[in-house]
Amino acid sequence: MVVMLYIFAALQFIGGIGTVAWSRGAMPEILGTLLVGFSIITVGLASILAEVAWSRKLLEKQIVWSRKLLETQMALSEQLFEEQHPQAAAQVDTPAKYRGYSYLVGENGVVLKLKDGGLKHFSSEEEAVAYVDSITAGDR
């Protein structure tokens, strides 16, 4: 329906230009031609905006679906890893907290997350705890 109206408006616009070309003083035809031209532009812009809105909604749905799929795959992968490698799953780095600071204990040492978002590496958990004690000593 919209396409037929668009084609009709385009033909009327072309006819209006022809009328203006062969006659002088045809002010109503000129105004009609401009009005039809404006309607053609409006219909074209409306269809473009509708297509953009539809594409955006589709993209948002795809992003949500992809995120859910990724979360599901990660959960299944973790479960499969724990089932296939129970000893390795026990050796995975374990997160911990001490006085509000998060740290990760692994076989290569300890990584402490600082309040400013930075990270600091220590060779043992005791070193990390001592460091946190030293920087929080003034906070007590």
Q: 40-49: per-residue pLDDT in tens? A: 778 778 888 8
136 and 118 Cβ atoms separated by less than 8 Å: no
**pLDDT, tens digit, 9 for 90 and up, residues 1-45:** 556 666 766 776 666 666 555 566 666 666 777 777 777 778 778
- Domain regions of the chain by residue span: 2-87, 93-139
Residue 80: both structure tokens together? 């499969």
Is residue 102 pLDDT above 60, yes or no?
yes
Task: State yes or no: pLDDT of 89 exceeds 60.
Answer: no
Q: Which two tokens stand for residue 114?
A: 């600082």
Q: Name, in order, each residue with C-beta under 8 angstroms of 115's C-beta and a sequence gap of 6 or more.
A: 100, 101
Q: Which residue reads 């009609």 in tokens?
A: 32
Which amino acid would we find at residue 61?
K
Both tokens of 125, joined, read 């958990």
| Statement: residue 64 has pLDDT above 70 | yes
- Please, are residues 95 and 104 in contact by the beta-carbon 8 Å criterion? yes
pLDDT tier, 116 (very low <50, low <70, confident <90, very high otherwise): confident
**pLDDT for residue 140 is more than 70:** no
Instruction: Tell me how far apart the alpha carbons of residues 98 and 132 are, in angstroms, rounded to a whole number.
Output: 8
d(CA 61, CA 70): 14
Distance CA 32, CA 21 (A): 14
Joined tokens for residue 116:
């400013």
Q: How does the average pLDDT of the chain come out, rounded?
A: 76
**Residue 139 DSSP class:** G
